[in-house]
Structures are given as structure tokens and as C-alpha cells.
Amino acid sequence: MNTFTHYIALAATTLSLIGCSSYPEEGRGGIAENYIQSSFTPVMPDEPLGPEHGLRFDWQLAKLQLDTLIREGARWCFPAAVVQALEKQNRIARELEGGLLLDAANDLVIQRNRLNELELQLDYVTSQSKCLPPTNERSFQRRLATIDELYNLLNVDNQFAFNSTEINPKYMGHLAQASNILKEHPQFHLAVTGHADSVGDVSYNQELAMGRAQQVKRYLTIFGLSPSRIQTKSVGDTLPLYEGDSDGVRLTNRRVSIEVIDTEEKTAMHMQGGYHEMD
């Protein structure tokens, strides 16, 4: 079998598996129910394969991996991580549908790394314990909705001015709103990663990005959060949200990315399901 035929056969097998993926009934599945089921245009027999087809295939592979992790219990043991992985998967689908191939390729790298890390965490937990559905479904769904709301508030575009750590007023409003929610949910912590655009040398951008992460932490603490709930780090200009050098792209890449960490996911026993020690 030549490479092209093998590729198409593998793609067909993967897509058929994905097509058979099942989700729980409404009201029981929680995380999976808001998942974009993107219907990408199929490759026709006489159509040459382009980069968009490879990216769509990679999206389907990432979707298959995420679906598998959800079925294996990640939704119960690591709901915050799964909610944010679904947000990223949906974002990539929108980028592919909009023809933003470089953006989709970059996000796919981030997503595959995130899913591989989640898979390792799940393998470790399930080797010692069980991931069980929550005993209080309504409370669990509220918890997921709060995580989703926080993620969207904290990861909007247009956060910083050029060559600056000063936060734009609109984003500061988002931080204040998120802080009010976080004060009501002490189990949620934040991991703040600073980013810079492509202008400037590596060491300067590393320092600038860290300054942005620390500035976000500063304002979150001003708004009432404990500093112990906020981790900061910098990746400089190494993980742009979008590829390119236009003013709009640079504006978007001057940012922080913030992950919501649910500390209840690290608790071996709690009242809403989660994971429990095996006998």
C-alpha cells in the first residue's frame, strides 16, 4: 500500500470511529453536550490534498483523543481541564472553517500537548483509583459552567498595548468580573502565562511577557484574590496565538493566557464524585 492510499485508509478508519462516538443523554453528559460536531467538507476523489486537509485530519485525531479521554473518565476526575480542552477544540474548528490555517496549526500544537498531559494525568489516577460520576449532577454542572465562564472572561483578545505591561481598560473590567466570581469559588486557582508579539529579541520578550503575567496577578490581588491562588510564568514570543506580523495579529499576541485550575480535581475523596481510591 503506497503512502497516499495508507493515509486515506487511516483517515477513513479514524473518521468512521469518530462517527460512532456516543455521548450521554441530555442532562447526563455535561461536558460533552456543548461540543462542536464540525462537519468539514470531505475530500473528493479528484481533489488534490492541500494543507487544510491535513489540518482537518489532525483536528479529527485530536477530537478522537479527547473523546476517548472523556469516555475513560476525564470528565469526572479532571472536569476543568476537559472544559478548557473542549473550548480549544471548538476554537480550532472555527479557525479551520474560516480558513485561518496558520492559527489552527499553532492551536493544534498547543491542544495536542494539552491532551497528552491530560492523558498522562488520567493514566496515573486510574492506575490507583476510580473516576466516578458526581453524586450531585446539578452542582457539578454549575461548577462546569463557572469554569467555562471564567475561561472565556480571562482569555479575551486585546489585553495590552504595544511594548507595555499596562492592561487595557476593557480587559481590566474582565479581570474585575472574574475576580468577583473567583471570590465565591475558592477551589478555583489560576495559571497565568505571559506572551509577547514577534517584535524584539528573545530575552526582552521573555521579560516583557513575564511582566504582563505579573501585572495581571497584581490586579487580581487588588480586586481581592489571594496571591497564593495565582501562578505566573512567561513563554515570551514562542507561542503566538496567531501567526503573522500585521498590527492586528501583534495586538492579539500581546496577551496572557489563563487556565482555571480546579483544586478539587486533586482531592482523592469529595462529595461530588470525582476519583476515589480503589479497594
pLDDT value of residue 247: 63
State the 10-residue block means of pLDDT for the chain, 279 residues long.
40 39 38 50 56 84 92 86 89 86 83 89 82 81 89 86 87 95 94 84 90 95 95 83 62 80 61 39
Q: Which residue has the cell 492559527?
A: 103
pLDDT value of residue 97: 85
CA distance 85 to 75: 11
pLDDT value of residue 136: 81
pLDDT value of residue 181: 95
**CATH homologous superfamily of 137-271:** OmpA-like domain (3.30.1330.60)
C-alpha cell, 87? 473550548
Sign of CA dihedral 70, 71, 74, 75: positive
Q: Which of 9, 41, 35 is nearest to 22 (CA)?
A: 35
Q: What are phi and psi of 255, to 5 degrees?
A: -160, 175
**Where do the structural domains in the chain lie, given as residue ranges?**
51-127, 137-271
pLDDT value of residue 130: 77
